[in-house]
Structure 1
Amino acid sequence: MMNNNYLIIMAGGIGSRFWPMSTPETPKQFLDILGTGQTMIQQTIKRLHGIVPIENVFIVTSKNYKSIINEQLPEVKDEQILLEPCMRNTAPCIAYATYKIYKRNPQANIVVAPSDHLITDETEFRRVVNKGLEFVASNDVLLTLGIAPHRPETGYGYIHAISGNDTFRKVEAFKEKPNRATAEKYLAEGNYFWNAGIFLWSAASIMKAFQQHLPAVAGIFKAGTDKYFTVGEQAFIDEEFPKCENISVDYGIMEHAENIYVLPADFGWSDLGTWGSLWEKRTRDEQGNSVVGSEVQLYDCQNNIVTVADNRKVVLQGLDDYIVTEANGVFMVCKKSEEQRIKEFQKNC
């Protein structure tokens, strides 16, 4: 019996905020930034084991990363690796994968997930995903997972849900990253959720939404139906993909469609978008230091995140709230509070 559950992994980002460990040549989704022995993209596939069979996983990424995926995920066939010739944000990425999946299975129900997020409670995550897939299989809806906020976070976008006790809530609006006062208001009201960027829908429902809200993008990938799973697919994509509008699925579809629902959840999610968020999620000692590297010695240090190679001897004294990392020929020491300057450092290095 055919399994109708599919997974689209978005893996084209360049991971600039985790420089120098993450580089355009090897961005963070292909790194073991948590020190678990598995890269972020390997964890993304593993946590959906038992829900989505490996042959139903489709990875959308840059042409530059194909060899890395072949190496890290040898069980994934080349036809499941969708190669973008250029960056065009998430809407074209999702549309390409969806039209290809639909050709194989018009009954497909799809999970769309970033390749570089952390989820600590994978049992709860699988329970939520199973519940969501059941919902989208029998309803013409676009479902997003909303994370129950634990603090007035200003680094995430929010989902405003219509109040109610139903498991699946109608979405009133999507909100940009708020300031502190607004975030505190969202937390107090109780019907706002962090936007995790994880979506569930049937292929038919999201294709209908593309046709309604982004018809030019839909037209490009519909025209390629005869090319998918053939030797002519990549040439078609190389020619047509750059013609797509550079737009996210959030702006292009989710903020305009009427059939948007949110499933509130809490499974230890973080987008690991900053060194500071990585520090929060990694194991820390009694002084609040998180260390990856077997030869690191700390004296009078607290609340630092240190990431160096195992054979690198490093001695640190008196540091408080710093990022210390060495990778790709660069040694960086930076205050956590100043990490927004990392792109500046990278540009000048």
Structure 2
Amino acid sequence: MSISDKYCVIMAGGIGSRFWPLSTQKFPKQFQDILGTGRTMIQQTYDRISKSIPSENIFVITNKEYVALSHQQLPEIPEQNIVGEPLMKNTAACNLYMANKIAEINPNATMIVLPADHLILKEDVFLEKVELAFSLASSQDYLVTLGITPTRPDTGYGYIQFVEKKNSEYYKVKTFTEKPILEIAKSFLESGDFLWNAGIFIWNVNSIHKAFETFLPDMTQQFTACEYNAEAEISCIELIYPKIQKISIDNGILEKAKNVYVIPADLGWSDLGTWTSVFENSERDENENAINIKTALTYDSTGNIVHVKNTKAVVIDGLKDFIVVDTDKVLLICPREHDQQIKDYVLDLKSLKKGEKYM
């Protein structure tokens, strides 16, 4: 396929509430340099895919609140390619919106959809699998996803079950499963025919359109009202978004479609969704502590992740397997094994008087 028919959409609209208090409504995690690499998560996502797709074919869809931040961090992308959603409606709506927008520019387009905040250590493998996905999706009526080879029975990820097929480079998808309980996650791993769902999708604009018409006809109808890449687009989108169903692309399309295929990939992948996943992907000292500053002293402390402002000195004594995060407005101290509960802390804090200001 011609390189001019390849497009990318980076989804950058989330708030990353499991990553609070570093990730806030004003400054979500995709715009932060979480691992101290010198590039933010969204910049790393762009750096990776720009090796395969020209900048003018790369789009970002985010919340309208983050459009300016996206421009600032990705000056390489044409201004009109950064699109702001008026409301958060989960991932089906933004996928249809961008497929319509891109199809209007190039009716032969095949697009890859990437979350803005994922870590991929094996970049070469990623680009190789992306090439395979593009060649499949551009020549067949396939909805393609990359599935990550699981390394542990993780309950924080969705799973993709595949059916054996002659070609070992890709398989037909049998089922999608939302985050399972531990017993089920263990049985998935033992069976050997499950992969992690990384939320990376590749499809031709015509194939995804057909799927939307079949499975989400009302939403498809709403979106046909707009004229894309024209002056009236923004006001039209503002009108239709309040009426659109809030549903994920997984629930709305992929769980129902019969033409979904998965490419297994060992990418050194993490969605950096929790403080534990950051701990696992950070450099650690001889006591297994991951600390982001040089001015820290630890005594009899192991397995902690400490993230504080560079201007502070920190002394920790007798702490094991804890998360310590200090920002301008919030100090969080909790056991690492409770990192899935951070969302609950955020909700409880919101209900306090003036709690919003800590979000």
**What TM-score, normalized to structure 1?**
0.96
- The SS at the match of 2:108 is coil
Q: Give the aligned partner of residue 352 of structure 2.
A: none
One-letter code of the match for 2:282? R
Residue pairs, 1:194-343, within 5 angstroms = 194-224=196-226, 227-343=227-343
> 1:118-133 to 2 correspondence within 5 Å?
118-133=119-134
Q: Which runs of 5+ in 1 are unaligned?
A: none
Is the CA contact (8 Å cut-off) linking 1:294 and 1:311 kept in structure 2? no
Report runs of 4+ in structure 1 exceeding 4 Å deviation. Answer: none
* 1:54 matches 2:80: no
> Any idea what SS the aligned residue of 2:49 has?
coil
Asked if the contact 1:20/1:328 (under 8 Å) is kept, the reply is no
Post-superposition offset of 1:165: 4.7
**Residue of structure 1 in register with 2:12 after alignment:** 11
Retained in 1: the 8 A contact 2:165–2:172? no
Name the residue aligned to 1:86: 87
Letter matched to residue 129 of structure 2: V
Structure 1 residue 221, shift from structure 2 partner = 2.0
- Partner letter of residue 183 of structure 1? A
Alpha-carbon distance in 2 for matches of 1:97, 1:317: 51
Whole-Å separation in 1 of the counterparts to 2:11 and 2:73:
16
Distance in 1 separating the partners of 2:176 and 2:338: 29
SS of residue matched to 1:3: helix
* Partner Cα separation in structure 2 for residue 171 and residue 163 of structure 1: 9
- Give the fraction of aligned pairs with identical amino acids, expressed as a percent: 45
Return 162-171 or 261-270, whichever deviates more: 162-171
Structure 1: how far apart are the matches of 2:258 and 2:87? 31
Separation in 1, partners of 2:152, 2:338: 21
The TM-score, its normalising length taken from structure 2, stands at: 0.93
Counterpart mapping for 1:102-121 below 5 A:
102-121=103-122
**Residue pair 1:8, 1:57 contacting (<8 A) in 2 also:** yes
Return the offset for 1:98: 0.6
Paired with 2:180 and 2:239, the residues of 1 have a C-alpha distance of 39
| Residue 77 of structure 1: aligned partner | 78
Equivalent pairs, count: 347
The Cα of 1:57 is off from its aligned counterpart by 1.1
Give the deviation of 1:286 after TM superposition: 2.2
Letter in 1 for 2:255: E
Preserved contact between residue 146 and residue 196 of structure 1 (Cα < 8 Å): yes
Please list the CA deviations of residues 36-63 of structure 1 after superposition, one character each: whole Å capped at 9, or x if unmatched: 1111111111111221111111111111
Which amino acid is 1:219 matched to?
Answer: Q
Question: Structure 1 residues 85-94 or 330-339, which shifts more?
Answer: 330-339
What root-mean-square deviation, in Å, do the aligned CA atoms of Structure 1 and Structure 2 show?
Answer: 1.4
